[in-house]
Structure 1
Amino acid sequence: MDSQRLETALKSEFGGTEPERRAVARAARDLADSGRPSRDRGHGLTVPGVIKHLGDAPDDSSLVDRWNWWLGALDVAYGGYDEFTVRFVEGDEQPGLRR
């Protein structure tokens, strides 16, 4: 997973702040490195794939909400994805659990 390429694609498709894009890209890289998507879904994460899945989230969702929405769906389908959700974004005025 190319984090820089993903951050650029996230900015283009969904906007969000730089810290949000960095947090989602880091979570995506960690998820890819875990090998879980390959084991569960038969293929690894790609930048176009992540963008497509995040695009399926409700339209009014923030970038972090889109990521967590998708990870929630993966967690329901396969289990074990909750650890890759984004719970804190550096620079948030109100850190805590992100939905």
Structure 2
Amino acid sequence: MDREVLMLQLRQAFGGTPAERRAVARAATDLVDSGQFADDRGDELTPELVVENLADCREGSPAERWNWWMGALEAAFGGYERFVVTRWDEEDAPNA
């Protein structure tokens, strides 16, 4: 998982603050490192796949969309609750 590519794609697709995008990218990297997504879905988690799945959520910031997706994976497979983004440093300006 290339965090920089994911953060760029999140910004382009959904906006959000830099801190929020970093938190989602960190959670995505943790998910990849766990091997759980690959085991459950048989797919490699890529920035493109993350953005594609987050786009299925009707609205929301990157973290809100990520958490929505983790909730769907939790319901389908279990064990995804630990990848939910619960906080990020809000010192970054929203349009930075």
Q: Which residue of 1 aligns with 2:94?
A: none
Q: Which amino acid aligns with 1:19?
A: A
CA distance in 1, matches of 2:44, 2:31: 9
SS of residue in 2 equivalent to 1:31 = helix
What do the CA deviations read for 1:27-64 (whole angstroms, capped 9, x no partner)?
000001100011000112011100000000022x1211
Q: Which residue of 2 aligns with 1:96?
A: none
Q: Which residue of 2 aligns with 1:46?
A: 46
Q: Which residue of 2 aligns with 1:84?
A: 83
What is the Cα-based RMSD across aligned positions, in Å?
A: 1.0
Aligned residues of 1:7 and 1:25 also touching (Cα < 8 A): yes
CA distance in 2, matches of 1:62, 1:38: 25
Q: Which residue of 2 aligns with 1:64?
A: 63
Q: Which residue of 2 aligns with 1:22?
A: 22
CA distance in 2, matches of 1:58, 1:13: 13
Q: State the 1:73 CA deviation.
A: 0.1
CA distance in 1, matches of 2:43, 2:52: 15
Give aligned pairs, total. 91
Aligned residues of 1:35 and 1:44 also touching (Cα < 8 A): no
> How high is the TM-score relative to the length of structure 1?
0.88
CA distance in 2, matches of 1:43, 1:4: 20
Runs of 4+ in 1 over 4 A off after TM superposition: none
Q: Which residue of 1 aligns with 2:6?
A: 6
Q: State the 1:91 CA deviation.
A: 2.0
